[in-house]
Protein backbone atom coordinates (compact mmCIF):
# COMPACT_ATOMS: atom_id res chain seq x y z
CA UNK A 1 0.00 0.00 0.00
CA UNK A 2 1.38 3.40 -0.96
CA UNK A 3 0.75 6.27 1.42
CA UNK A 4 -0.32 8.54 -1.44
CA UNK A 5 -3.11 6.08 -2.33
CA UNK A 6 -4.48 5.91 1.22
CA UNK A 7 -4.49 9.32 2.88
CA UNK A 8 -5.08 9.19 6.61
CA UNK A 9 -4.24 5.47 6.97
CA UNK A 10 -1.74 5.05 9.79
CA UNK A 11 -1.65 1.23 9.89
CA UNK A 12 -3.27 -2.03 8.84
CA UNK A 13 -3.46 -5.50 10.37
CA UNK A 14 -4.70 -8.85 9.04
CA UNK A 15 -5.46 -11.81 11.30
CA UNK A 16 -6.69 -15.34 10.61
CA UNK A 17 -9.79 -16.95 12.17
CA UNK A 18 -7.74 -17.98 15.23
CA UNK A 19 -6.45 -14.46 15.90
CA UNK A 20 -2.98 -15.16 14.53
CA UNK A 21 -1.44 -12.04 12.98
CA UNK A 22 -0.85 -12.57 9.26
CA UNK A 23 0.54 -9.09 8.63
CA UNK A 24 0.79 -5.69 10.28
CA UNK A 25 2.07 -2.37 8.99
CA UNK A 26 2.37 1.10 10.43
CA UNK A 27 1.04 1.69 13.95
CA UNK A 28 -0.92 -1.59 14.03
CA UNK A 29 0.50 -3.86 16.75
CA UNK A 30 0.78 -7.60 16.08
CA UNK A 31 -0.24 -8.25 19.70
CA UNK A 32 -3.72 -6.82 18.99
CA UNK A 33 -4.58 -9.44 16.34
CA UNK A 34 -6.40 -11.78 18.75
CA UNK A 35 -8.54 -9.03 20.25
CA UNK A 36 -9.42 -7.61 16.83
CA UNK A 37 -10.43 -11.02 15.49
CA UNK A 38 -12.51 -11.64 18.63
CA UNK A 39 -14.31 -8.30 18.25
CA UNK A 40 -15.15 -9.15 14.63
CA UNK A 41 -16.56 -12.57 15.65
CA UNK A 42 -18.64 -11.02 18.44
CA UNK A 43 -20.07 -8.42 16.05
CA UNK A 44 -21.15 -11.19 13.67
CA UNK A 45 -22.98 -12.94 16.52
CA UNK A 46 -24.79 -9.72 17.46
CA UNK A 47 -26.04 -9.28 13.93
CA UNK A 48 -26.08 -12.76 12.30
CA UNK A 49 -28.08 -11.67 9.23
CA UNK A 50 -25.35 -9.22 8.25
CA UNK A 51 -22.53 -11.32 6.78
CA UNK A 52 -19.76 -8.85 7.59
CA UNK A 53 -20.47 -5.91 9.88
CA UNK A 54 -17.86 -3.17 10.08
CA UNK A 55 -16.83 -2.08 13.56
CA UNK A 56 -15.61 1.48 14.05
CA UNK A 57 -13.77 2.35 17.24
CA UNK A 58 -13.31 6.11 17.51
CA UNK A 59 -11.01 7.98 19.89
CA UNK A 60 -9.13 11.26 19.97
CA UNK A 61 -6.09 9.52 18.49
CA UNK A 62 -7.97 8.23 15.45
CA UNK A 63 -10.32 5.49 14.30
CA UNK A 64 -9.92 1.73 13.87
CA UNK A 65 -12.17 0.04 11.31
CA UNK A 66 -12.51 -3.74 11.75
CA UNK A 67 -14.13 -6.21 9.36
CA UNK A 68 -14.11 -9.98 9.07
CA UNK A 69 -14.60 -11.70 5.73
CA UNK A 70 -13.77 -15.26 4.65
CA UNK A 71 -12.09 -16.08 7.98
CA UNK A 72 -9.73 -13.10 7.71
CA UNK A 73 -10.05 -10.04 9.94
CA UNK A 74 -8.77 -6.73 8.60
CA UNK A 75 -8.20 -3.67 10.77
CA UNK A 76 -7.47 -0.25 9.31
CA UNK A 77 -6.09 2.41 11.64
CA UNK A 78 -6.97 5.92 10.48
CA UNK A 79 -5.36 9.12 11.70
CA UNK A 80 -7.58 11.89 13.00
CA UNK A 81 -8.44 14.47 10.37
CA UNK A 82 -6.61 17.74 10.89
Give the mean model confidence (pLDDT) for residues 68-80.
Answer: 93
Residue 16 is predicted with a pLDDT of: 96
- Residue 58, in any domain of the structure: yes
Q: Does residue 11 register a pLDDT over 90?
A: yes
Number of domains in the chain: 1
| CA 10 remoteness from chain centre | 12
CB 73 within 8 A of CB 65: no
**pTM given for the model:** 0.85
User: CB-based contacts of 28: which residues, under 8 Å, 6+ apart?
Assistant: 11, 12, 13, 75, 77
Q: Which domain holds residue 24?
A: 9-78
- Residue 2, in any domain of the structure: no
pLDDT in tens, 17-72: 999 999 999 999 999 999 999 999 898 888 778 777 899 999 999 999 999 988 89
Residue 52 is predicted with a pLDDT of: 79
Residue 65 is predicted with a pLDDT of: 97
| CATH code for the domain of 50 | 3.30.450.30
Amino acid sequence: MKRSESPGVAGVLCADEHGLCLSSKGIAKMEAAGQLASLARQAQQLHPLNPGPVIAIEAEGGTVLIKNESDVTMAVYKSPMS
